[in-house]
Amino acid sequence: MKSLIVKGKYVLTLDKKHGTIPKGAVFVEGDKILDVGPAKKIEDSYDADEIIDAKECVVMPGLICSHNHMYGILSHGLPVPQTTSTFITFLEQFWWPCIENALNRDQISTAATMSSIHMAKTGTTCCSDILEAPNSIPGALDVEAQATELVGLRSVLSFEATERISQENGEEGVEENIDFIKKHNGKNDSLTRGMFCTHTTFTCSPQFLKKVREQADEYHAGIHIHLEEGAYESKHCLAKYQKLPVELYEEIGFLGSDVLASQCVHTLPREAKLLRKHDVKVSHMPLSNCEVGGGIAPVPSFLQTGLTVGLGTDGYIQDMFEVMRAAFLIHKGYLQNASVMPADVVIRMATIDAARALRMENTVGSITPNKQADIITVDLKFPTPVTAENLIQQLVVFGNGSMVRNVLIAGKEIVRNKEILTVDEDKARTRCMEAAETLWKT
């Protein structure tokens, strides 16, 4: 079993016991972290097969994207019609017909490969991805998993089952998740895990949502949902059911600690209290919510309510450093309060809290002995001094993914000196370009 030591100017563990360690090191054996501490102590205690000396870097946990659509990379640069001024028109006039309904399995594979490369090179080691491609099932999740595993990325994958095309297609989506969960969940050596997923209360009937809840209970796999990304869902639910979406979910017995609700832009305080009551987790996408004109989620109030909140890219910009900076800044401006969303809270949302949102806090999210060795090194070549006291502030406010030097996932180095080791990036980019051109012509 291969062993290695990763040492740096600092080790940022994000573990309450170990904190930030100047001139620190991590000892890794196989796929696990076995020890962390001052570099001298670690090097004196262990004979490692290899030493990664990141002397001008911080060694820290890999970042975790708690909500993504990897296929979204194929839409980058495709003009959006000017008529899509609201989120629901964005879906109906652009996203559904031009992207999701048109995707085939080859395009899904190509997009997942390129997105995984982007994530890995910018420090994301684990991604929770939702695939909606209603005309590509069965087998869509399998090709996506093959792509993420080829790159070496840890992933939680789900197919967004929805009745927006037909009830039959919705049931096929549920079966896609069941088949995938049976193949991957419970295997200790797998980087991939499956999860159930539904869309919204305006694309899924209560009866359908109840059935998915029953399946999630049977397979213990959890459920990922979109919740109130635009104003339309709340208005639709009130008109049709005389309840807000979260109230409807509670009435049908859908909510639980295994539910991850993404977006939550228009979620009201009384709904947030219900989410907290059932220990539902939240994923926040500050950049993509702005891009589609959805609004700004009330994340500071969610945190005050006691909700666990992770960060995600939503398939828009894969660099989680950019997402952290957005989460740090946007709420300050919106609330006119510079004290909200401090850097230490934000970095936890991209690591240990995102792991908790995915029910993986015992596996990843911090540099802690016996957790998986998902570790990154980040250059500290800032124009101003980096200290133990300002390290997190520098990373969140002024860092970016191009500063990531080394990436280890499950103890395997997949990025070295900023170069991906597992796949040919140039070939993957060419394939992605061709897939996008084909999709745009559909």
pLDDT computed for residue 79 by the predictor: 87
Which among 209, 196, 197 has a CA at the least distance from the CA of 248?
A: 209
Average pLDDT estimate for 333-347: 98
Q: Does the pLDDT of residue 231 top 90, yes or no?
A: yes
Rounded Cα–Cα distance for residues 438 and 436 (Å):
5
Q: Which two tokens stand for residue 347?
A: 């970095």
User: Distance (Å, rounded) from C-alpha 49 to C-alpha 276?
Assistant: 46
pLDDT of res. 437:
96
Chain-centre distance for alpha carbon 175: 23
**How many whole angstroms separate alpha carbon 439 and alpha carbon 442?**
5
CA angle 110, 113, 118 (to 5 degrees): 125
Please give the Cα distance from 290 to 380 (Å, whole number).
30
**Which residue shows structure tokens 């990304």?**
229
Closest CA to 281 of 229, 352, 354, 210: 354
* Reported pTM: 0.97
**H-state helical runs in 264-409:** 269-277, 286-291, 299-305, 320-335, 343-349, 352-357, 391-393
Question: What's the token pair of residue 78?
Answer: 């495709």
CB atoms within 10 A of CB 104: 17
- Residue 191, both tokens: 């980087």
Q: Are 64 and 364 in contact (CB under 8 A)?
A: yes
- As a whole number of angstroms, the distance between CA 439 and CA 106 comes to 11
Stated as kind and residue range, the H or E segment containing 11 is: strand 3-12
CA nearest to 350, candidates 389, 330, 320, 328: 320
CB atoms within 10 A of CB 117: 26
- CA pair distance 252, 310, nearest whole angstrom: 26
Taking a C-beta distance cutoff of 8 angstroms, is the pair 1, 352 a contact?
A: no
Domain 63-357 CATH class label: alpha beta
For 387-399, how does the pLDDT look when each residue is reduced to its tens digit (9 = 90+)? 999 999 999 999 9
CA quadruple 307, 310, 312, 314: dihedral sign: negative
Residue 62 has a pLDDT of 98
Q: For residue 386, give the 3-state DSSP assignment.
A: coil
pLDDT at 81: 85
Q: Note the Cα 294 to chain centre separation in Å.
A: 19
Mean pLDDT of the chain: 97
Per-residue pLDDT tens over the stretch 101-152: 999 999 999 999 999 999 999 999 999 999 999 999 999 999 999 999 999 9
Contacts 24+ apart (CB under 8 A), 133-136: 133/71, 133/100, 133/101, 133/103, 133/104, 133/108, 134/100, 134/101, 134/162, 134/164, 134/165, 134/169, 134/173, 135/101, 135/102, 135/103, 135/104, 136/103, 136/104, 136/105, 136/108
CB 78 within 8 Å of CB 111: no
Q: How many of the other CB atoms lie within 10 Å of CB of 19?
A: 12
CB 409, CB 152: distance < 8 Å: yes
Phi, psi (deg, nearest 5) at residue 87? -65, -40
DSSP reduced 3-state for 390: coil
CB atoms within 10 A of CB 301: 16
First to last CA, the chain: 49
What pLDDT was estimated at residue 116?
98
* Region 207-225 average pLDDT: 98
The two tokens of residue 234 are: 């709340």
Q: What is the pLDDT of residue 293?
A: 87
Q: What is the pLDDT of residue 187?
A: 81
Domains of the chain, by residue range, sit at 3-61+364-417, 63-357
Q: Which CATH architecture has domain 3-61+364-417?
A: Roll (2.30)
pLDDT band at 186 (very low <50, low <70, confident <90, very high): confident
Predicted confidence (pLDDT) at residue 189 exceeds the cutoff of 90: no
